[in-house]
Chains A and B, each alone.
Chain A
């Protein structure tokens, strides 16, 4: 990121992610707080699963285990967002969201922002590395997982 950008990729004030009342995704959000990417992997049949569910979709074992994985993947798709759909994004300008596929974890996918120039050219299939972004002064505090091109490291 260029030095004149703010510390977080998008401004504060967007909806804050929290686990559901039943706690289904709590290990995922708690993991991000500690710079760890957690996804479900069934202890019975080893099927990867993300987003989380209370059952393994393959073998029906309940409460699939949470496993830490390396936050590395490749861009499966992307979008450059121009229209501000939230008041805090007005005057912000375009930003990039990417869908990242994680081949070493059953090719589960997750959405994040792609750090760097919002006008950069993007290639589907490009390798990316995860970057944890902490919003500690938020109430409640939370953490996100962004991505940057491996070639930019």
Chain B
């Protein structure tokens, strides 16, 4: 790398994913293991996949108020030297790509050499997002919502999606196509919690409303499990046994006053990527037509509609035409989407299962492999703030 390239402020091509691993994925409450043990198992699996001694990990990165904290992991794993410990602010899956970006930045800045990025989650042990119990008084944003029965995430995001559908004429069928794609891909993925439980149009249409416009199948599952990856400097990528998968770009954040509560974001009917998507493409030097496969966080299908439009795959007014089941299927749909089953049907690992699936796509080992797999996108946490996204690519894309 010459001096000019070294001075360029980018993640592009500087780090590589060399290992991935996850635990079995469980329905919420069904994990036989405590949450911290799940984290350890996923990290050891990722190290095993890479062929690296876990003692050589020198950093941990996570997000969403991760409870398995870096120093405890370092002690448990006998980490020789802990050099990076980064947590991304914000709940849910907004940070699933930001955690990778933060780890990449640590490596590129010379703060660490081998960082594990992970998420562990045992909702059965620590409470679910979907139920609001044991709260007597509430203040801040939730005080303006919860007393009106706007308690859980489906209720917090339904009005945002309804407004978007109103502004752009998006139909329920567009949301349905996203759910069908996730479930379709999960049927090929033995890791998926919904493996062997297919979904079709009539089953979707007949499913109960959670909060209109969300049917049951528009909402993510709640699960137990853990997932992890190992990130190293690009110079070291070929020391490991797997085909390296390079970070081509990442971006984090949200636009002007997206965080104005309650529901006072100026661009309300948005997935929060209005500034973040252009940043990602600029860093990667790529555009939507270069992307062969997308993993997009489905907290709710409506968020996927908005996020894909904000990443330039179609205009909002084209959503009904673009978001058809056949367009979203691997291997040869226009844009294979959520090829592991994602949050709806593989596992709600707060989107980290999506990051691992993007790595599998670039490696060429997905259970629903896309034909175009040199550039894979991950979109994290639509409609929250901060959100984040990630482009991964093969060596040929560097």
**B154 surroundings in chain A (CB, below 8 A):** 83, 85
Number of interface residues of A (CB under 8 A): 42
* Contact indicator per residue, chain B 193-237, by CB within 8 Å of chain A (1) or not (0): 000000000000000111111000000000000000000000000
User: What is the number of contacts between chain A and chain B, taking CB atoms within 8 Å?
Assistant: 142
C-alpha gap A51/B246 in the complex (Å):
42
C-alpha gap A99/B143 in the complex (Å):
15
Name the contact of B148 in the complex, choosing from A80, A113, A142 (C-beta under 8 A): A113
**A18 surroundings in chain B (CB, below 8 A):** 137-139, 143
B211 A80 Cβ-Cβ under 8 A? yes
Name the contact of B149 in the complex, choosing from A25, A51, A95, A108 (C-beta under 8 A): A95
Closest B-chain residue to A87, C-beta based? Answer: B133
Number of interface residues of B (CB under 8 A): 44
C-alpha gap A59/B2 in the complex (Å):
45
Which of B11-19, B57-65, B96-104, B160-168 forms contacts with chain A? B160-168
A81 B137 Cβ-Cβ under 8 A? no
Q: Which of A19, A108, A111, A142 has the most CB of B within 10 A?
A: A111
* Distance in Å: Cβ of B131 to nearest Cβ of chain A: 6
**B140 surroundings in chain A (CB, below 8 A):** 20, 25
* Chain B interface residues (CB < 8 Å from chain A): 130-133, 135-152, 154-155, 158-160, 162-163, 166, 208-213, 257, 260-264, 268-269
User: 28 interchain pairs (CB within 8 A)?
Assistant: A10-B147, A10-B148, A14-B146, A15-B132, A15-B137, A15-B138, A15-B147, A15-B151, A20-B140, A21-B139, A25-B143, A51-B141, A51-B144, A57-B260, A76-B268, A77-B162, A77-B166, A78-B159, A81-B149, A83-B152, A83-B210, A85-B149, A85-B155, A98-B159, A111-B144, A111-B262, A124-B162, A140-B137
